[in-house]
Amino acid sequence: MARSRSTVPELPLFSTIASDLPIDETSSTGINSSLATDLGCPSRKSIRHSRRNKKYIHHQRSLSEANLYHHEQASLSPDVAETSKCRHRQSKRHLLVEIERLKRENQHLLNAGYASSDVKLRALEGRIVELHSSKQQLEQEREALSRRINEDSETISKLRLRSKELAQDVFMLKNLVMRMNTELSKAQSRLHQYQSKEDAVVTISEDSGLADHRSHSESRSSVKPSWSRAEMNAMAPLLEALEETIAEKDELIGNYKREMELFINRSKEIIAENENLHAQLVEANKKGEVTYAEWKVLTREAAMTREQNELLLRQTKLNQSKLNELHTAYQARLTELTLDHEQAEEKCQQSRTEVFV
């Protein structure tokens, strides 16, 4: 009896049964935990797999219990067998309780997995809807941006073409201003040279009391240097030069008018003096108080006076025609310069507006 009791293992019955179970039996808790972790988003395949595992575990437990019972019945004595039966019943009851607990835990995990899977599924569906709407919005934005890029590219091409045209216009205006500045510099240099020369004064003998008076404008003390081509881009020097030229022409015309008035007054004085002398000569001839020598002298003086009068009349006509020609030429030049000035101002204003735009 002692020997038979000594053959009974000292380990608890539940641990021996757990050791005699197959690998799938001992790993039921791991399987349940893995199922619980995998049930975050369960599927039909995982549910069938879990049910199949449960059936397999239950079958293996029943087989192991039967084998253990037969083994103990064959190896133990009747007393030990009775004791083992009691232990077997207790272990079986304990196993049933454990199985029920595991079933409840498994069911709870399944329910929790289903609930969490529904929540996650709804969240995923909402997320999918949001992503779809954001995708449509991004596509619309992309289409709008593509259209905007196309419009901007067209606008940029138009602006580039316009800038090329403006560059050509500016280049043409620069060349035009450079040529005008060159010609204006030449004209100003010639005008300064002409003004620096003094006109000869023609006088007649003091006996006749006649003189040809011709006034001349004062020569300038310093000649302005011709401005360099570095300023050809600026319109201000050109306009200033045009204003200066117009002022010089006006001054020259005024000088000629004053000279003409002086010449007319001098001619009137000479004519009045000649008429007085002629009247005196006629009166002297009537009285007969003039001698032959005096008559010759008077005749000679009268001839000289007549010649002088003719010369003065010719000179007056020449001066009048010359003055008329000069007046006409300077009037035409003034009109031309005025038109050039207006055109230059208009071009300058157009170029400024185009550059600022």
In the chain, where the domains are located: 2-138, 198-356
Confidence tier at 77 by pLDDT (50, 70, 90)? low
Q: Which residue has the higher pLDDT, 335 or 203?
A: 335
The H or E element spanning position 13 is: helix 13-20
pLDDT of 26 over the 70 cut: no
Residues near 107 by Cβ (< 8 Å), separated by ≥ 6? Answer: none
CATH of domain 198-356: 1.10.287
CB neighbours (10 Å) of residue 158?
10
* CA-closest candidate to residue 316, choices 274, 254, 263: 263
pLDDT of 94 over the 70 cut: yes
Taking residues 208-213, report their average pLDDT.
Answer: 41
What is the per-residue pLDDT for 93? 80
Is there a contact between 232 and 174 (Cβ–Cβ < 8 Å)?
yes
Taking residues 303-307, report their average pLDDT.
Answer: 86
What is the per-residue pLDDT for 75? 56
* CA-closest candidate to residue 245, choices 189, 310, 302, 173: 189
The H or E element spanning position 41 is: none
pLDDT of 219 over the 80 cut: no
Q: Which residue has the higher pLDDT, 108 or 238?
A: 108
Q: Which residue has the higher pLDDT, 204 or 303?
A: 303
DSSP state of 231: G
Taking residues 44-68, report their average pLDDT.
Answer: 64
Q: Which residue has the higher pLDDT, 293 or 168?
A: 168
Q: What is the pTM of this model?
A: 0.26
Q: Which residue has the higher pLDDT, 59 or 253?
A: 253
Is there a contact between 175 and 229 (Cβ–Cβ < 8 Å)?
no
pLDDT of 225 over the 60 cut: no
Confidence tier at 173 by pLDDT (50, 70, 90)? confident
Is there a contact between 330 and 252 (Cβ–Cβ < 8 Å)?
yes
Confidence tier at 249 by pLDDT (50, 70, 90)? confident
What is the per-residue pLDDT for 299? 84
Exposed / middle / buried, residue 315 (Cβ in 10 Å: 0-12, 13-18, 19+): middle
